[in-house]
Structure 1
Amino acid sequence: MTGIYIHVPFCKQACHYCDFHFSTSMRRKHEVVQAICQEIILQQNYLSSRELQTIYLGGGTPSLLTATELDKIFTTLHQHFTIAADAEITLEANPDDLTAAKINELKQSPVNRLSIGLQSFHDPHLRLMNRVHSANESLASVQLAQDSGFSNITVDLIYGIPAANHSIWAKDLEQVVALQVPHVSAYALTIEPKTALGNWTKKGTFIPSEDEFVATQFEMLLTHMQTHGYEQYEISNFAQPGWESRHNSNYWKGVPYLGLGPSAHSFNGSSRQYNVANNSQYLAALSQNKIPATVETLSLADQANEYLMTTLRTIWGCDLNKIKNTFGFDLQQLHGNYLSRIIQKGMAQLENNTLTLTNQGKLLADQITLDLFIAE
C-alpha cells in the first residue's frame, strides 16, 4: 500500500500559529503546479509500487487550486501511476474557499475526502489565529459539502487557546459533534518561534496557556469524543468506526510514501528526503529536471526510532517483536526498568509484546518516546 503527499505552498494570509512552508503571493502558483507535475514524472520510480492507494493534497491551502490546476495534477498522476479504484483522495480546504461553486468543482474531480480547517467556532479565537473565515462560514462550509454528497469529511480543531475557563472549548466540542462529520483532528495550540504568536510570546504581549489548562482540555476532548462514538486511533485523531484516515494511518504504521512539492517529505523505509522549502529554488531545480531534496540515510537505530515515534501515538501501538526482528534491538533489554515503571504508573500497557499508551500516558507521549529512543 503506497501513497503520495502533494504540498501546495500557497495561502491567502499567514495564520499566526503556522510554521509550515507557504507563500501569500499567488504569482507563481501555476508555475509550481507545472513543477509538481514534472516532479511526478521524475519521481515515478521512488516507491516500490506505482499503484496508489492514497493521495493527500495538503499545504498551504490546496483549495486555492483552480479546477484546471487540479486536473493537470491528476492527469499527470494517472499517466505515471495507477490509482486504485477505491483510493482515498484527500484535499485540505479552508471554509472561506468552500462556496457552492467550489464544492461542485471538487465534486467533479477525483477528490473524495475533504479535510476542512475549522480550528474554532469562536470568532475571537479565529481572529487571534488570523484565520480568514468566520465561525458561521465554518458551519456553512461543512453543511454545503455534506449537501453536495461529500460524506468522507474531517475537520480540524485547535485547543489550549488562552481563555478564562473551558466553556469556549466545551462549546466547540458540542458543535463539532453536532456537525455529524465522521472524523475529527484536534491539536494543541503550539507556539513556534518563527510565527506571530512566537514573536508575541517572546515580547511578552501574548501569554500561552499553562500546561495544566491544555491537559484539561485534552482530557475533555477524549471524554467527549468517546461519549459520542469516536475512537481515538491516534493521539490527535478521532474517527467513527471505519472512517480512519487511510493515508495518515499509513504514515503512522511506517508505510513508505512519496512527497511532492516545496518542503514535502518522502520516506522509503531506509531513507528520508526533504524537498527545499523555497518556491523559487524548487522551480529552478525542476526546470533542470533535478529533485531539490536533501536525502538522509537511516541507520537501523534511526529506523527503529522512527517506528517507535509513529506507532506509539496510535491505538495499534508499538510491536516490540518488530523492533527486535526487523531492526535488531530488544527494547525490553535496553529499557526494561523504564517500561516497568511507566506500566506500573498506569501510563502504558504491554499486551502480546505490543506497547500502547493509556490516556494518562498520551499526555506525556513525546517525553515517553524520547526516553525510549535507541542510542546509536
Structure 2
Amino acid sequence: MATLYFHIPFCKRICSYCDFYKVGAIELVPRVVEQMHKELEERQTFVAERRLSSIYFGGGTPSLLSAKDIESLINHASQLFDCSAVTEITLEANPDDITAEYAEALSRTSVNRVSLGIQSFDDRVLGFMNRRHTAEEAERAVRILRAVGFDNISIDLIFGVAGFGDDHLGESLRRAVALNVEHISAYHLTVEQRTRLGVMMRKGEYTPVDEERSEMEYLAVHKVLSDAGYDHYEVSNYAREGRYAQHNSAYWRGVEYLGIGAGAHSFSGDSRVWCTSTAKEYAEGKLLYEGEQLSVTDHMNEYVMTSLRTSRGIDLQYISTLFGEEHARRIERGAESWLATGMLQRTDNRLVIPAEHFLLSDAIIESLFV
C-alpha cells in the first residue's frame, strides 16, 4: 500500500528554527487548494500501488485550512484510490488554531488523528521560537480535541534549547505526560543556516548546547516518557498502547508515497520527485518538479538509515534477499565494533540500536553505508 501526503506551506508566523518550505501569503490558500485537487488528479499514477494506508496533512500549518477544504481533499483521494484500508488520517495543527468551533467542524471530517506542534510548555522558550501559542493555549487545545471525541492525539516537543536553565525541559515533560496523549515526538533543536536562529548563531547571539548537554537531555526525555508508559519506537517518537504514527512508519519501511502541494516530495519505489514551485507559482498552476532515480546502493543505504532509527532495526536476511548476500556480510562486518561496545545488539538476523543509544544513530548508520 502507498500513502498520501498533502503539504500546506502557509504560516501566519515563521518560527525561528524552521527550515521547511513555508510562506506567509495565506490569501493564496483558496487557489492553492484548488490546484491541489488538479495535481492530485494529474499525478495519481506516480505511485503504482492503488491502495492507501494513510493520509497526512503536513506543513506549514494545515490547520489554516477549513474543515470543508480538508474533507474535500480526502473525498477526492477516495475517488482516485482505494481507501478501504486507510486507518489513519492526520492533520498537523497549531494549538491556537484549535478553537471549540474548529475542533467540532474537524470532528465531522474523516480526520482521526491530530498532531499538535506544541514544542514547549515554557512561554519563554515559545517566545524564543517565535511560536504563536502559549503553554496554556497548548493544554487547552488538547482538552478541546478530547471534548469533541478525538482519541488519537500527538504532540511535538523540542529539546536541546540553550539559554533557559536546567528546569524548563523537565517541566515541559511533566506537563506533556499529564495530558495523557497517545503519541509524543521529541526532536533535538537543529540550527539550520537559512533560519532566523541560524542568523543569530552567526552573529554570536545564540550558542547551541554542547554534546554532553544534548545527551543528558535526550536521556531525560527517554527516561521520563518510558517511565510514563510510552514505547520509544523510533529515534524521536514515543507511543502508548501501540499508537504508532502509521504514516511516518510507512516512510521508514520504504513504502511508496505521493506528495501533493508546493514543496511536497513523492517516492515511487525507485525514484524521488519533489515540487519546486513557490506557493505563488503553484496557485497559478505553474507546477515545477525535480527528481532523481535511485540506484541499488541508494536503496540499500536508505533502508539502513530508516530502519536503524526504529526499534525494529535492520533485517539481515531481508538485505541478503533484496540486495545480495555480500551486502549483508559487509554490514555484519561493519557492525562488529558497535556490537562489541553494546551500541548495537543482534537478535537472530536483526541488528538493533538500543533506545538509550539512539542519539548516536547517525554515526552508527553512516559507518554502515555502502
Q: Shift in Å at residue 36 of structure 1?
A: 0.9
* 2:369 pairs with 1:365: no
* 2:213 pairs with 1:198: no
Query: Size of the alignment, in residue pairs?
Result: 370
| Equivalent residue, structure 2, for 1:304 | 300
Would the aligned equivalents of 1:4 and 1:258 in 2 still touch at CA under 8 Å? yes
Structure 1 counterpart SS, 2:7: strand
| Equivalent residue, structure 2, for 1:105 | 105
2-structure distance, mates of 1:164, 1:117: 20
1:234-285 deviation digits (Å, cap 9, x = unpaired) = 110000122111111111111111111111111121111111152233345x
* 2:56 pairs with 1:56: yes
Would the aligned equivalents of 2:219 and 2:356 in 1 still touch at CA under 8 Å? no
1-structure distance, mates of 2:112, 2:332: 45
1:123-151 deviation digits (Å, cap 9, x = unpaired) = 00000000000111011000111111101
Q: Shift in Å at residue 328 of structure 1?
A: 2.4
| Equivalent residue, structure 2, for 1:179 | 179
Would the aligned equivalents of 1:275 and 1:294 in 2 still touch at CA under 8 Å? yes
323, 345, 350: which one aligns with 1:349: 345
Q: Shift in Å at residue 329 of structure 1?
A: 5.6
For the aligned residue pairs, the C-alpha RMSD in angstroms reads 1.5
300, 304, 314: which one aligns with 2:310: 314
Would the aligned equivalents of 1:67 and 1:105 in 2 still touch at CA under 8 Å? yes
* 2:226 pairs with 1:226: yes
2-structure distance, mates of 1:311, 1:336: 15
1-structure distance, mates of 2:225, 2:277: 36
Change in Cα spacing, 1:329 to 1:59, as seen in structure 2 (3 Å) is: farther
Would the aligned equivalents of 2:344 and 2:352 in 1 still touch at CA under 8 Å? yes
Q: Shift in Å at residue 326 of structure 1?
A: 0.6
Structure 1 counterpart SS, 2:247: helix
1:2-59 deviation digits (Å, cap 9, x = unpaired) = 2101100100110000000011111211111111111110122222232222000000
1:63-118 deviation digits (Å, cap 9, x = unpaired) = 00013322331232122122226521000000000000010110011111000011
Change in Cα spacing, 1:42 to 1:206, as seen in structure 2 (3 Å) is: same
Q: Shift in Å at residue 119 of structure 1?
A: 0.4
Structure 2 counterpart SS, 1:44: helix
2-structure distance, mates of 1:359, 1:233: 8
Q: Shift in Å at residue 346 of structure 1?
A: 1.0
Structure 1 counterpart SS, 2:346: strand
Would the aligned equivalents of 2:53 and 2:83 in 1 still touch at CA under 8 Å? yes
311, 322, 328: which one aligns with 1:326: 322
Stretches of structure 1 that go unaligned for 5 or more consecutive residues are: none
Structure 2 counterpart SS, 1:364: helix
Change in Cα spacing, 1:74 to 1:359, as seen in structure 2 (3 Å) is: closer
Structure 2 counterpart SS, 1:15: coil
Once the two structures are aligned, what percentage of the paired residues are identical? 39
| Equivalent residue, structure 1, for 2:289 | 293
Match runs of 1:197-276 below 5 Å = 197-276=197-276
Would the aligned equivalents of 1:95 and 1:133 in 2 still touch at CA under 8 Å? yes
Q: Shift in Å at residue 312 of structure 1?
A: 0.5
Q: Which range moved further: 125-134 or 27-36? A: 27-36
| Equivalent residue, structure 2, for 1:10 | 10
Structure 1 counterpart SS, 2:27: coil
Would the aligned equivalents of 2:5 and 2:55 in 1 still touch at CA under 8 Å? yes
2-structure distance, mates of 1:61, 1:211: 31
Q: Which range moved further: 323-332 or 127-136? A: 323-332
Would the aligned equivalents of 1:89 and 1:113 in 2 still touch at CA under 8 Å? yes
1:213-235 deviation digits (Å, cap 9, x = unpaired) = 11111001111111111101111
1-structure distance, mates of 2:315, 2:85: 31
Would the aligned equivalents of 1:323 and 1:330 in 2 still touch at CA under 8 Å? no
Stretches of structure 2 that go unaligned for 5 or more consecutive residues are: none
2-structure distance, mates of 1:194, 1:343: 38
Structure 2 counterpart SS, 1:233: strand
What letter corresponds to residue 57 of structure 2 in structure 1? Answer: L
TM-score by length of 1: 0.95
TM-score by length of 2: 0.96
Would the aligned equivalents of 2:200 and 2:206 in 1 still touch at CA under 8 Å? yes
Change in Cα spacing, 1:292 to 1:303, as seen in structure 2 (3 Å) is: same
